[in-house]
């Protein structure tokens, strides 16, 4: 214990800030030199080098390389669950395109959804489904894929569409009692889960309604000509055997998650169901993906085509440039760059935690906090900073939750205000940071760079601002009073 305290005293603020400033400079150079392509390797190098600098700082404070390496490995270990889910989603996208599930969603979607309300409708649909299953990741990896395809057929903005999907998915995830982050925020602050959800309505509902208005305003009135829609539907129908039955893999996926099955096996089962449907209903497409049956025979060509869709996704070769670009997606290999980014980011977060740098920087934030407004603002900034540095929303909820747990009662405020602020900031901004597990997942799944959709993820942007405004105006802040013991609730995976 004494040795630990001695190390903590030796870690100065200037030393703690060294790896942070080093990372900021490198990331700035990365974006300047490589632009939108910076996340395809340049940012990873910046994170690895910053990790080495943080380890050197740890050595200055008495922490040897073995201990620092253990912190890196432990940090990366936190992301192995999301990495498995990410790889499984790559499989799912590949087989769902191959079996016709995604083409069917596009085929019927362009009939039902109007471009003028498409963005708002996408956000609302994703919100409803996310509330029912409690998983923003699942919504993005299922409905999100189809909605992105429909947006492409309407020639609508991929960035705005992704922002609408993320907004809706996180709105539903935030208010669902089955959500892992919602349960974690309540548990880490010691408040009742359903009181926590009810208190979140004060910030969540106004933010989402404002987002819907903006999405409606951004809706396009320039709809494609009917003949263009018909041409797209005809091209899809010529390539695939379409029908409502091909939506069964989607319904299976949503049903498994709703029934509380773990996310990874649920996605794998749904991906394999897509593979089975491909064999049953799209055998010619499967053989074509395998390059024909001349060398291997028909049976092995079917096996090869399905196998390719699982590891390398579906590649459309219809000759229609737009359709080929729309449908050539998926496979585990499509997620490997994102996995690389997540591993590098979590390794950096792990060494910051092991060396005490993260705890030192968090302690600095509570100095001078004397009002509700400054406390909530500090909480918001702490959560965002932790999301940036630790690259994981669960750390960004749990650490500030423990850190500020006694600060709110000290100012006469209920911990419900803390749990709500954790969700308003830590949960929602995680999807806006490219190297955070959530931002990396959304970017890889939806096919849009995080910085491209982030300005249009209105709900995620508005909630932290509303939380700060409430803090300074004392609006919808619950005072300290006798509160019931928290009720344990199951935690959703994914």
3-class SS at 479? strand
Write down the pLDDT at residue 307: 96
User: Contact, 242 vs 100, CB < 8 A?
Assistant: yes
Please give the C-alpha separations between residue 269 and each of 253, 272, 273, 330, in angstroms, as whole numbers: 8, 5, 6, 16
Which stretch of 293-302, 374-383, 412-421 has the lowest confidence by average pLDDT?
Answer: 293-302
* Model confidence band, residue 491 (pLDDT cutoffs 50, 70, 90): very low
Instruction: Say how many CA atoms lie within 13 Å of 350 toward its Cβ.
Output: 21
Helix (H) or strand (E) holding 246: none
Closest CA to 257 of 195, 168, 169: 169
* Mean pLDDT score, 482-493: 46
Report the run of H or E that residue 159 belongs to, with start and end: helix 158-175
Residue 468: band (very low, low, confident or very high) from pLDDT cuts 50, 70, 90 = very high
Q: What is the pTM of this model?
A: 0.81
Measured CA to CA, the distance from residue 335 to residue 441 in angstroms comes to 9
Write the pLDDT tens digit of every residue in 90-129. 899 999 999 999 899 888 888 778 888 899 999 999 999 8
Give tens-digit pLDDT for 248-274.
Answer: 998 998 888 788 788 789 889 999 999
Q: Is the pLDDT of residue 2 over 70?
A: no
136/129 Cα distance (integer angstroms): 9
**DSSP calls for 8-70:** HHH--HHHHHHHHHHHHHHHHHHHHHHGGGGGTTHHHHHHHHHHHHHHHHHHHTT--HHHHHH
The pLDDT score that the predictor gives to residue 4 is 42
Helix residue spans in 292-371 (DSSP H): 298-312, 321-327, 336-354, 357-365
Average pLDDT over residues 442-447: 91
pLDDT tier at 488, thresholds 50, 70, 90: very low
pLDDT at 3: 43
């Amino acid at each position: 214990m004494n040795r630990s305290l001695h190390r903590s005293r030796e870690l100065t603020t200037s030393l703690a800030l060294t790896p942070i400033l080093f990372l900021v400079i490198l990331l700035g150079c990365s974006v300047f030199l490589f632009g939108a392509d910076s996340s395809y390797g340049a940012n990873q190098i910046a994170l690895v080098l910053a990790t080495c600098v943080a380890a050197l700082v740890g050595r200055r404070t008495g922490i040897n390389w073995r201990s620092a390496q253990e912190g890196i490995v432990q940090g990366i270990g936190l992301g192995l669950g999301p990495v498995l889910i990410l790889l499984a989603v790559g499989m799912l996208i590949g087989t769902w395109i191959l079996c016709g599930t995604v083409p069917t969603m596009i085929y019927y979607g362009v009939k039902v959804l109007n471009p003028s309300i498409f963005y708002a409708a996408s956000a609302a649909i994703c919100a409803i489904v996310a509330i029912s299953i409690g998983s923003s990741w699942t919504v993005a990896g299922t409905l999100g894929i189809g909605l992105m395809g429909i947006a492409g057929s309407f020639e609508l903005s991929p960035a705005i569409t992704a922002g609408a999907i993320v907004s809706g998915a996180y709105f539903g995830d935030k208010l669902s009692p089955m959500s892992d982050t919602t349960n974690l925020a309540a548990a880490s602050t010691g408040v009742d889960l359903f009181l926590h959800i009810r208190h979140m309505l004060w910030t969540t509902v106004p933010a989402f309604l404002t987002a819907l208005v903006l999405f409606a305003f951004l809706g396009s009135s320039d709809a494609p000509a009917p003949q263009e829609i018909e041409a797209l539907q005809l091209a899809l129908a010529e390539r695939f055997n379409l029908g409502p039955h091909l939506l069964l893999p989607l319904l299976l996926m949503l049903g498994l998650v709703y029934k509380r099955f773990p996310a990874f096996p649920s996605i794998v089962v749904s991906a394999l169901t897509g593979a089975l449907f491909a064999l049953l209903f799209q055998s010619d497409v499967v053989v074509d993906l395998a390059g024909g049956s001349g060398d291997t025979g028909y049976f092995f060509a079917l096996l090869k085509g399905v196998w390719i869709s699982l590891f390398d996704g579906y590649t459309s070769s219809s000759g229609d440039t737009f359709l080929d670009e729309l449908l050539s997606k998926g496979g585990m290999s499509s997620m490997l760059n994102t996995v690389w980014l997540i591993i590098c980011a979590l390794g950096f977060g792990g060494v910051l935690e092991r060396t005490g740098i993260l705890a030192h920087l968090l302690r600095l934030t509570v100095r001078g906090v004397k009002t509700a407004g400054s406390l909530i603002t500090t909480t918001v900034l702490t959560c965002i900073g932790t999301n940036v540095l630790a690259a994981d929303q669960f750390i960004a909820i749990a650490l500030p939750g423990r850190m500020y747990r006694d600060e709110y009662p000290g100012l006469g405020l209920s911990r419900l205000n803390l749990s709500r602020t954790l969700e308003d900031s830590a949960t929602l901004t995680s999807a806006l940071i490219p190297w955070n597990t959530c931002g990396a997942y959304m970017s890889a799944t939806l096919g849009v760079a995080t910085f491209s959709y982030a300005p249009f993820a209105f709900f995620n942007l508005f909630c932290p601002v509303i939380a700060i405004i409430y803090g300074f105006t004392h609006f919808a802040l619950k005072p300290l009073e006798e509160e019931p013991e928290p009720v344990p609730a199951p935690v959703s995976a994914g």
